[in-house]
Structure 1
Amino acid sequence: MRFTLLYGAMFLLSGIGLLAITNLVGLGGTRTSQSAPPGTPPTEPTTLTAATDRIAWLQTQLSDTHTAQSRQLLIGSAVALMIMSVVSVVLGRIIAGRVLRPLRTITAATRRISADNLHERLAAQGPADEVKNLADTIDELLERLENSFDAQRRFVANASHELRTPLATMRASLDVALAKPEPIPAQTAALADRLRTELDQIDRLLEGFLTLARTQHGALTDRTTLSLRQLANTALHSRATDITAHHLTVDLSADPAGTTDDSAWTQGNRTLLTRMIDNVIDNAITHNHHGGWIRLATTTDATTAQLVIETGGRILDQEQVTPLAQPFQRLSADRTHSDNGSGLGLSIVAAIAAAHGGTLDLHARTEGGLRVAVSLPAAAVPTETAA
């Protein structure tokens, strides 16, 4: 629109200038024609009175003719100016579209290129002008991004083996040292238990790093249709011992908003979605007070499948809850009376949800506790399940 107005104004000003010059030249020629050409001898009148009347009549005729010509010229100029206004807008629109067409093509192609098809290029054709230079610069940027993503994927592929091997060696060395037949000093046994605990914590932290990196920088493959309700039930069943140890009450009733529970079908990678729900359940169990409760609900609408898990507890500040989706963000240790978490649990949940086109919403309940809602694109119920 700005280019249309700019080009239209330029065409219109050019038309106004052209009409102004035409009017000045036309009116100047008309005024010049009122006087007799120089060097022409005057005609001798028959009588002075007749000559005077003749001159007055001629002057009147010339004045009327000049007025009529001026009026016709102004009317013609006004009509031409109106026509020129319309033509200017049309021409401005055409030229603006022509100028911006390559930029629209570049914009559409750039939006189409994502992390999964960074190998594509704009490959703009045409003369070496500013637009082609812009397209070539974007191609170079895409090449650097592709190399960076490839490096990240190679790191994720190799880091698991390279980093887990020293941990396994250290754990095996501890087991060998403790398995010797001679008596082990109590202080040594306590130190070995402490080291084994720290190694387990490092192992969990490493696993969280790798999952987060794989989710953020890896291609999402092996999609299948899954039920969030079934995955959540499996996670709760496998953690029945921990739930009992904390004396927690699990409520699988309907969502507090009044919507009906269902299986909440979605499409995604089974391993990642299982890890996502496991982290949410672990967070609800670990970050809960003794004798507390967990409420789980799944809902589905036309476009979204949602898993909602609520826990009770003390009243939390929303400003403290919101950053929990970022790595290494924790609430104060007095919430759980422990600080054994790696600070990656909910950040992994957020990354997996984002990789599947969903969102993670963390909300501090006004009654106390936390509400965790994972929303993913809904999928149709599998045929065999519906049957």
Structure 2
Amino acid sequence: MRLTILYASLFLVSGIVLVALAWLVVFRQPVLVTFAPDPPSVTAPDAVDAAGPLPGLPPGTNVKSADVLVAPTAHTVRAVFAQSLAVLAGMAVLSAALGWVVAGRVLGPLRAMAAKTRHISERNLHERLAPAGPRDELTELAHTINGLLSRLELAFEAQRRFVANASHELRTPLTMMRTSVDVALGKPQPAGEVTVLAGKLHEGLDAADRLLEGLLLLARAQNNGRAGASAVELPAVAETALAARAAAIAAGGLTVELRLAPVTVQGNAMLLTSLVENLVDNAVTHNEPEGWLRITTALLPPEPGGGPRARLTVESGGEPLEPASVALLGQPFLRLGGDRTSRPGTGLGLSIVSAIATAHHGTLTLHARAAGGLRAEVEL
């Protein structure tokens, strides 16, 4: 639209200047016209134009052919002015239409590149723009974007490899430490201090194991989340996750409400199970005493051009949360409050959920409930 307005404005300015110059050339002085009357002989009083008798001829002179100066009248100027405006208006409309077509042709490659770039995310950084046509500014822009995507792909791959490799490498020293503690406890009548120290070490090792499992799961979801896809029934997975945490739910005095509609999704069964388990863990761990949690599954209508979608919602009670802070909970190791030592968990649960949802072309949305607590919605 802006290009069309620019084209039409330039045309109008040029047209107005052109018409003004034409009027200046034509109307600034009388025009020399050859007068040839028919029949061949008339008298001077009859040989008149709109301005009166022919100038320079005495009355009664017979005229067969003469050169006369004709001065434009106000009526002639108005007529020419109106016709010029009509032609200029018609050409302005035509120039706007042509400008719209030309602007669309010029911006077509840009629209295609924008749509392709918008489609590329951390899941498909390997895709590239394919510029067509001669080498110009547009193809140079496409090559620049491709170079940026290549650098981003290398950075993402390096980060994921580091997380996976570091998690694997850290498992060996942790296993050695756990074995050493078990050997010390296996000796006859270990000292009381050794028993207390061993208990503390076991707690730390268990926390480190959970952290490493979370990092490995996060790396696996980011690298190849949909490998080995199969049919997964979300209600059955949710019920199994609740049954495995029955002791923790009973200890917290939590009330559980289930609204499970039959929903089956296609994906990696292990990762989708981890998604549901992490949501349930988050709802149980960060709940309030004698609180509640609700799990809902629903089948959503198909989107335009796509298939049906499933929604899993896990709500829980708790203290009021800031909406701005809740939106950041999907980032790794981020906890509300900033105290990493006194709060349970590793800070990876919702990050794992978000990565698994993204790997299955889904989304995780977090909402702070007005009455306190959190509502997590996953669409797959």
Provide the TM-score with structure 2 as the length reference.
0.78
Q: Is the 8 A contact 1:9 1:88 kept in 2?
A: no
Structural RMSD (CA): 3.5
Equivalent of 2:333, from 328, 337, 345? Answer: 328
| Whole-angstrom CA distance in 2 between matches of 1:246 and 1:209 | 28
Equivalent of 2:139, from 132, 135, 138? Answer: 132
Alpha-carbon displacement from aligned partner over 1:336-361 (angstroms, at most 9, x marks no partner): xx633222223333333344312232
Within a 5 Å distance, the mapping from 1:185-334 to structure 2 comes to: 185-216=191-222, 218-252=224-258, 254=259, 261-303=260-302, 304-312=309-317, 315-319=319-323, 323-331=328-336
Equivalent of 1:359, from 356, 364, 367? Answer: 364
Higher strand proportion (structure 1 or 2): 2
**Counterpart of 2:148 in 1: which secondary structure?**
helix
| Whole-angstrom CA distance in 2 between matches of 1:232 and 1:27 | 90
Q: Is the 8 A contact 1:306 1:373 kept in 2?
A: no
Go from structure 1 to structure 2 and tell me whether the alpha carbon gap of 1:374 and 1:178 turns closer, same or farther (over 3 Å shift): same
Q: Which residues of structure 2 form unaligned runs of 5+?
A: 35-42, 57-67, 303-308
Alpha-carbon displacement from aligned partner over 1:182-212 (angstroms, at most 9, x marks no partner): x422212221221121011111122223333
Q: Is the 8 A contact 1:8 1:91 kept in 2?
A: no
**Counterpart of 1:341 in 2: which secondary structure?**
coil
Displacement, 1:290?
4.8
Q: Is the 8 A contact 2:295 2:313 kept in 1?
A: yes
Residue aligning to 1:349: 353
Residue aligning to 1:375: 378
Go from structure 1 to structure 2 and tell me whether the alpha carbon gap of 1:112 and 1:325 turns closer, same or farther (over 3 Å shift): closer
Q: Is the 8 A contact 1:318 1:364 kept in 2?
A: no
Residue aligning to 1:9: 9
Query: Is residue 178 of structure 1 aligned with residue 185 of structure 2?
Result: yes
Alpha-carbon displacement from aligned partner over 1:264-317 (angstroms, at most 9, x marks no partner): 33333222221121112222333344554443333333254333334445x524
Within a 5 Å distance, the mapping from 1:54-65 to structure 2 comes to: 57-59=53-55
Go from structure 1 to structure 2 and tell me whether the alpha carbon gap of 1:9 and 1:155 turns closer, same or farther (over 3 Å shift): same
Q: Which residues of structure 1 form unaligned runs of 5+?
A: 36-49, 255-260, 378-387
Q: Is the 8 A contact 1:266 1:376 kept in 2?
A: no
Q: Is the 8 A contact 2:117 2:129 kept in 1?
A: yes
Displacement, 1:240?
2.6
**Counterpart of 2:196 in 1: which secondary structure?**
helix
Q: Is the 8 A contact 1:152 1:217 kept in 2?
A: no
Residue aligning to 2:104: 97
Identical pairs, percent: 47
| Whole-angstrom CA distance in 1 between matches of 2:124 and 2:327 | 32
Q: Is the 8 A contact 1:283 1:345 kept in 2?
A: yes
* Aligned AA (1:58): L
Go from structure 1 to structure 2 and tell me whether the alpha carbon gap of 1:17 and 1:64 turns closer, same or farther (over 3 Å shift): closer
Displacement, 1:120?
3.1
Q: Is the 8 A contact 2:364 2:377 kept in 1?
A: yes
Corresponding residue pairs, total: 349
| Whole-angstrom CA distance in 2 between matches of 1:296 and 1:219 | 24
Q: Is the 8 A contact 1:349 1:360 kept in 2?
A: no
* Aligned AA (1:345): G
Within a 5 Å distance, the mapping from 1:23-42 to structure 2 comes to: 23-28=23-28, 31-33=30-32
Displacement, 1:5?
0.5
**Counterpart of 2:54 in 1: which secondary structure?**
helix
| Whole-angstrom CA distance in 2 between matches of 1:112 and 1:310 | 31
| Whole-angstrom CA distance in 2 between matches of 1:165 and 1:316 | 41
Provide the TM-score with structure 1 as the length reference.
0.77
| Whole-angstrom CA distance in 2 between matches of 1:22 and 1:168 | 95
* Aligned AA (1:21): L
Deviates more, 1:2-11 or 1:76-85: 76-85
Alpha-carbon displacement from aligned partner over 1:363-382 (angstroms, at most 9, x marks no partner): 3352xx524332313xxxxx
Alpha-carbon displacement from aligned partner over 1:110-131 (angstroms, at most 9, x marks no partner): 2343434433332424444322
Displacement, 1:2?
0.2
Query: Is residue 111 of structure 1 aligned with residue 82 of structure 2?
Result: no
Alpha-carbon displacement from aligned partner over 1:234-270 (angstroms, at most 9, x marks no partner): 1112223333444444333x4xxxxxx4123333322
* Aligned AA (1:85): A
Alpha-carbon displacement from aligned partner over 1:62-107 (angstroms, at most 9, x marks no partner): 6686556534533432232122212221232233223222212322
Q: Is the 8 A contact 2:123 2:359 kept in 1?
A: no
Go from structure 1 to structure 2 and tell me whether the alpha carbon gap of 1:362 and 1:210 turns closer, same or farther (over 3 Å shift): farther
